[in-house]
A and B are shown apart, each in its own frame.
Chain A
Amino acid sequence: MRSTWVVFGYALCESLRRRVFHAGLVLTVVFLSLYGLGCSFVNVSQVYIGPASRVVKVDVYAAATVLGLAVFATYFFGVSLAIFLTISAVRGDAEQGVLQSLIVRPLTRWQFLLGRLLAAVAVAVFYVAIVFAAALAITQVTLGWTPRHALAAGLEIGAAIAVVAVVSMLSSVYLSGVANGIGVFMLFGAGLFGGLLGQIGGVVNSHKLEQTATIVRYVTPFEWLYQSSLGRLIEGENGVTEMVIRLGPFGGSVQGGTVVWLWSAVYVLAMGGATVLAFARRDL
């Protein structure tokens, strides 16, 4: 495993020194600043509206809605970072001549892959954790609301990012950098689209649409984890307030439970195994 950690250290340094990472940090600071500014503009003059039986907690609705948007942005940034850190891991680096001198050293190819993957996941998940925590803190300070299950939601977003990194690593064996980036982003888009279909299916009560959304969830478990994390964020809210919240960015939320974690683990193991096999057979 020593070789894996050497590659991990090398890939970690590479990730942190990449321009895309620095540009991402600057954009993140801009995003969080704008998010803080936006939250401070939200003016909740009434905490409750409606009759007693159908009360809407306006403060919760407003805070949850803006946080939901921030969580989507965090998820998108995290996915982008995970893709950028892994798109050229194999074929892209081999085409540029970076990989060969490393692979001829006495380490197995799976050790190399594992080191690179762990570094990409570490950087992307750490980044997501920081941005998510910052968004929660801003929401608490400006709007006085924090979801009850924020930690569980954060873990699921982090896991979603890790799954994306694994998928991107696998396709990097076959596709060169740009093609891989486009491909994984398309898969990410397909996941989002599946989520929308499920949301529409729920509203119009279409079994077929909901079934399609379920299949998409299994194909793109990162999206399922994201939808589950949204579900965690509004867990505990009920009645009309929950219904109103679901009209916004939480429309696609689901209760993933243990199944999403188990399926994600199986998916990652299968994808990881396929990556190792594909890389072992690849001529460099």
Chain B
Amino acid sequence: MILPPNDPTDRAPERVSVLALSVRGLVKRFGKTDALGGVDIEVQSGQIVGLLGPNGAGKSTLTKIACGLVRSTSGKVEIFGAGAGSRQACRAIGYLAELFRYPGWLTADEVLRLHQRLAGSGGGPGERGRLLERVGLSAVAGKRVGAMSKGMQQRLGVAQALVGSPRLLLLDEPTSALDPGGRRDMRFLLEELRSEGVAVLLNSHLLSEVELVCDHVVIVDRGHVVEAGRLEELARSRGVEVELASGVRLFEGMGRDEVPELVERLVAEGERIYGVRVRSATLEEVYLDVVAEDGE
């Protein structure tokens, strides 16, 4: 499913949209198992796209193909017009894997220095200091990874992904080990990156997090995109809740436009109305709906 570029109502500031990630007809088979069965996704610069789906849906496989870690069976994946896995594509991306580990004998600063050298970044100590500060690790720059908590290592992973100022970030469960404060910091960081024009593909199981930070959502199930669009589009009406003397009644299938007629009808029927609320579906409800539908 191809997503439209940001419109003016999106949270990102106006800027020229560049296609950061283009996935077309992507198929991946592991033996006889179809991990991805023809996926289309686009991510524009300055856009945060949430990639959702149950375990085994193919989210990580998709992300890994975009990074060049996994070869596709067929289809086309391009990063700023360059084939996934090519040097040009690798220069443009930052990646944090779901399962990652840095050698315990390296310090946080050394991890970033190694990645600077591999990425060909000339940022030097200044860039390392800025990145560590950005993820809240400046006080432990000299601490060995082996002595860090899982949450600190995940913050370091995010800093590592930002080495060389990538234009596309591919984050696979970047907050799985973070506490609520850490998740909030990550949200702020992603919002900052969006304002800088960085494109982000955020693979997460935390729907509330995706709801708070993403412009677009793609829901994948068993290798297929089952729903995609802007959050506003997905949050379709679930009906109108009316608080009556007898209790709260939900009028399903109704929207904002039907409220005046509904209220008029109820008053005519002799009901006393204490409150009216149009209910929109939460991302969780949308997700559970489409995943359950697809599973039937």
Contacts and interface: CB of A to CB of B under 8 A. Distances in A.
B32 to A, nearest CB: 15
Nearest to A96: B101
Interface in B47-91: 64, 67-71, 87-88, 90-91
Interface string B83-125: 0000110110101110111110100000000110111100000
Nearest to B120: A106
B203 interface: no
Nearest to B103: A14
Contact of B91 (A101, A106, A283): A106
B117 A98 contact: no
A107 interface: yes
A151 B102 CA distance: 40
Contact of A101 (B64, B68, B95): B95
Contacts of A10: 114
Contacts of A97: 97, 99-101
Q: Is the interface of A mostly helix, strand, loop or mixed?
A: helix
Contacts of B68: 103-104
B126 to A, nearest CB: 20
A6 B103 contact: no
Interface residues of A, number: 23
B160 interface: yes
A281 B71 contact: yes
A171 B95 CA distance: 27
B-side interface size class: 20 to 34
B118 A100 contact: no
Given A10-B114, A101-B97, A102-B118, A283 B70 contact: yes
Contacts of A96: 101
A7 B103 CA distance: 13
Contacts of B105: 13-14, 17
Contact of B118 (A14, A98, A105, A284): A105
Nearest to B94: A104
Contacts of B117: 6
B90 A101 contact: no
Interface string A150-162: 0000000000000
Contacts of A3: 118
A104 B69 CA distance: 7
Interface in A194-240: none
A178 B100 CA distance: 20
Contacts of A2: 120
Contacts of B101: 96-98
A103 B69 contact: yes
Contact of B69 (A17, A98, A281, A284): A284
Nearest to B104: A17
Contacts of A283: 30, 64, 69-71
A284 B99 contact: no
Interface string B248-269: 0000000000000000000000
A281 B93 CA distance: 21
A18 B103 CA distance: 10
B79 to A, nearest CB: 11
Nearest to A5: B117
A112 to B, nearest CB: 9
B14 to A, nearest CB: 31
A21 to B, nearest CB: 11
Contacts of B90: 104-107
Given A3-B118, A7-B118, A100-B95, 7 more contacts: A14-B103, A97-B101, A98-B101, A100-B100, A105-B115, A106-B120, A283-B71
24 contacts: A6-B117, A6-B118, A7-B118, A14-B105, A98-B100, A98-B103, A100-B69, A101-B97, A101-B161, A104-B67, A104-B68, A104-B69, A104-B90, A105-B90, A105-B115, A105-B119, A106-B91, A107-B87, A107-B90, A283-B64, A283-B69, A283-B70, A283-B71, A284-B70
Interface of A: 2-3, 6-7, 10, 13-14, 17, 96-98, 100-108, 281, 283-284
Which 9 pairs from chain A and chain B are nearest by CB?
A105-B118, A106-B90, A97-B99, A284-B69, A97-B100, A283-B70, A97-B101, A106-B87, A17-B105
